[in-house]
């Protein structure tokens, strides 16, 4: 049965929620599910903005059929060709042979590659417009936010921005589709941050370019492809995007990441975390073998400081810590202060190896000396760990 949700007199939400999906993009755990958003504008012409993932195809087609009624579908605007938004396009084009596809050249090429055809197509470029009655669509290119073919659509008459993957978030929609009807900060912010850094975080410069274009627009309604629709207090969320895409820390505080086989490196990490917290500094502690690497990356971006503690493993860094460091490098983690702790029973090496990787990232600052634990923490190494913690805490509080 259809479940269309009215956004304005002329704009309807047609998307659906998947709460069974385990891994988004086969990589990121989504315990709170995810929504796939699609929107229909009914003016003199009818305009569909994107389709949805196969997982919610039935819901979407029932919604579309209900929202269209007897009217034909005149246009589909394709903002992004990633299959979580385009997998149902082929079925849509077959069901609506009357529809004209409005998209970028790059997206049209991808449609041909995915489906073998692109239908009737109008190619648009930056700033092109399409009048559909009382509304005029203006197309805003957003390459690499987060694929090269991505564009957004701005509708000046009502200040609507169809923002593609930007401003999206993991997390299924809880009945209401509006950010002002949920507790976004409590229920969605961590997912939004994790979504941003793992999905588009690598492309901060491109996100900033789009934010500059958006700064000149009067935006009253933001319709992303995942997560809640924004019609109030969008400036708060925009500010988060400015911080995130500028690779700036969102909070002053310390993320402590440890990799430990038998618990001794964990012990060292906990001693540091407790000593930092005792100075009144916000700290979060993560076992990198337990928490998903996507969440670790997100937390590393959130805080101004990080401590990395790893056991030495066959002359190297422990595997899950190595994965975290590789992911941080891949997502262009930068502008942070860090400290390093290593453990080893005969030839500790993890600290030097971690430091080499961290110092190769952009604008990184190492605090204190690499601190070494030989097998288990003793009085001497505990004192060194507390000294390191004091330096880290002072650095957080000073800057
Ligand atoms: C598979 C394996 C490989 C290890 N390789 C090294 C090594 O190359 N150099 C070293 O000094 N210690 C090595 N160790 C010893 C660990 O550093 C030692 O077990 C340490 O106490 C681990 O800390 P944990 O209790 O936090 O796991 C290795 C341990 C394991 C289990």
327-347, pLDDT tens digit by residue?
A: 999 999 999 999 999 999 999
Which pair of tokens denotes residue 270? Answer: 């906990």
Determine whether 363 is exposed, middle or buried from the number of CB atoms within 10 Å of its CB (0-12, 13-18, 19+). Answer: exposed
Range of the domain at 125: 5-245
Over residues 234-291, the pLDDT tens digits come to 999 999 999 999 999 999 999 999 999 999 999 999 999 999 999 999 999 999 999 9
Q: Which amino acids bring their CB within 6 angstroms of ligand 1?
A: 260-265, 311-315, 343-348, 375
Q: How confident is the model at residue 202 (pLDDT cuts 50, 70, 90)?
A: confident
Residue 59 is encoded by which pair of tokens?
């819901």
Q: In whole angstroms, give the CA distance from residue 321 to residue 60.
A: 41
Would the pTM count as exceeding 0.85?
A: yes
Q: CA-to-CA distance for 73 and 100, rounded, in angstroms?
A: 8
Local structure of residue 32 (DSSP, 8 states)? T
Contact between 324 and 257 under an 8 Å Cβ cutoff? The reply is yes
Residue 117 pLDDT > 90: no
Q: Which of 256, 259, 261 to mutate to test the pocket of ligand 1 (most atoms within 8 A of CB)?
A: 261
Please tell me whether residues 203 and 273 are part of one structural domain: no
Domain end point (choices 230, 245, 260): 245
- Among candidate residues 217, 245, 273, the one where a domain is terminated: 245
Atom of ligand 1 nearest to the CA of 316: 8
Quick one: 30 and 156 in the same domain?
yes
Using alpha carbons, list the distances in angstroms from residue 364 to 7, 86, 247, 284, 339. 45, 39, 12, 20, 11
Given a cut of 90, whether residue 303 has pLDDT beyond it is yes
Same domain, 382 and 293: yes
**Where among 245, 272, 301 does a domain terminate?**
245
Ligand 1 atom nearest 375 alpha carbon: 21
344 in the same domain as 205: no
Closest Cα to atom 1 of ligand 1: 313
Average pLDDT estimate for 67-93:
96
Average pLDDT of every residue of the chain: 96
What is the C-alpha separation between 264 and 270, in angstroms, rounded? Answer: 10
Same domain, 255 and 239: no
350 CA to centre of own chain: 30
Alpha carbon distances (Å) from 137 to 156, 161, 224, 257? 8, 10, 16, 47
Q: How many CB atoms lie within 10 A of CB 34?
A: 25
If asked whether residues 154 and 269 sit together in one domain, one would say: no
Please tell me whether residues 309 and 384 are part of one structural domain: yes
Domain count, the chain: 2
User: What's the 339 CA to ligand 1 centre distance in angstroms?
Assistant: 20
Using a pLDDT cut of 90, give the percent of the chain over it: 95
Statement to judge: residues 241 and 271 lie in one domain: no
Residues 306, 185 within the same domain: no
pLDDT in tens, 125-138: 999 999 999 999 99
- Amino acid 119: pLDDT: 81
Q: Which CATH number do you get for residue 334? A: 3.40.50.360
- Look at ligand 1, atom 20, and give the residue with the nearest C-alpha: 375
Pairwise CA distance, residues 328 & 228, whole Å: 28
CATH number of the domain residue 12 falls in: 3.60.15.10
Note whether 219 and 280 are same-domain residues: no
Of the CA atoms within 13 Å of residue 176, those in its CB half-sphere come to 10
Whether residues 314 and 224 fall in one domain: no
> Do 264 and 189 share a structural domain?
no
């Amino acid at each position: 049965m259809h479940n269309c949700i009215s956004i304005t007199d002329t704009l309807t939400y047609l998307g659906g929620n998947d709460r069974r999906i385990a891994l988004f993009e086969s990589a990121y755990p989504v315990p709170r599910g995810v929504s796939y958003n699609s929107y229909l504008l009914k003016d003199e012409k009818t305009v569909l903005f994107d389709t949805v993932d196969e997982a919610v195809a039935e819901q979407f087609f029932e919604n579309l059929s209900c929202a269209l009624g007897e009217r034909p579908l005149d246009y589909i605007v394709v903002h992004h060709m990633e299959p979580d938004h385009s997998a149902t396009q082929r079925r849509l084009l077959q069901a609506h042979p009357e529809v004209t596809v409005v998209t970028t050249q790059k997206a049209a090429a991808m449609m041909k590659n995915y489906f073998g055809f692109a239908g009737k197509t109008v190619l648009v470029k930056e700033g092109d417009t399409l009048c559909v009655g009382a509304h005029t669509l203006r197309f805003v290119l957003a390459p690499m936010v987060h694929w090269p073919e991505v564009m957004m659509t701005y509708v000046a008459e009502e200040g609507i921005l169809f923002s593609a993957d930007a401003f999206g978030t993991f997390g299924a929609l809880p009945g209401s589709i509006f950010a002002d009807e949920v507790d976004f900060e409590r229920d969605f912010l961590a997912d939004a941050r994790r979504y941003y850094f793992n999905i588009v975080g690598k492309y901060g410069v491109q996100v900033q370019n789009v934010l500059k274009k958006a700064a000149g627009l009067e935006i009253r309604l933001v319709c992303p492809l995942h997560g809640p629709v924004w019609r109030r207090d969008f400036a708060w969320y925009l500010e988060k995007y400015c911080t995130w895409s500028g690779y700036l820390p969102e909070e002053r505080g310390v993320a402590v990441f440890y990799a430990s086989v038998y618990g001794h490196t964990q012990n060292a990490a906990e001693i540091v975390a407790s000593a930092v917290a005792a100075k009144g500094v916000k700290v979060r502690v993560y076992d990198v073998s337990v928490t998903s690497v996507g969440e670790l990356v997100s937390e590393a971006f959130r805080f101004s400081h990080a401590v990395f503690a790893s056991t030495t493993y066959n002359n190297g860094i422990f595997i899950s810590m190595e994965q975290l460091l590789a992911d941080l490098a891949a997502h262009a983690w930068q502008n942070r202060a860090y400290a390093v702790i290593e453990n080893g029973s005969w030839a500790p090496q993890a600290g030097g190896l971690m430091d080499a990787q961290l110092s190769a990232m952009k604008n990184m600052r190492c605090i204190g000396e690499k601190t070494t634990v030989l097998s288990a923490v003793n009085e001497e190494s505990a004192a060194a760990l507390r000294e390191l913690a004091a330096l880290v805490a002072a650095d957080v509080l000073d800057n």
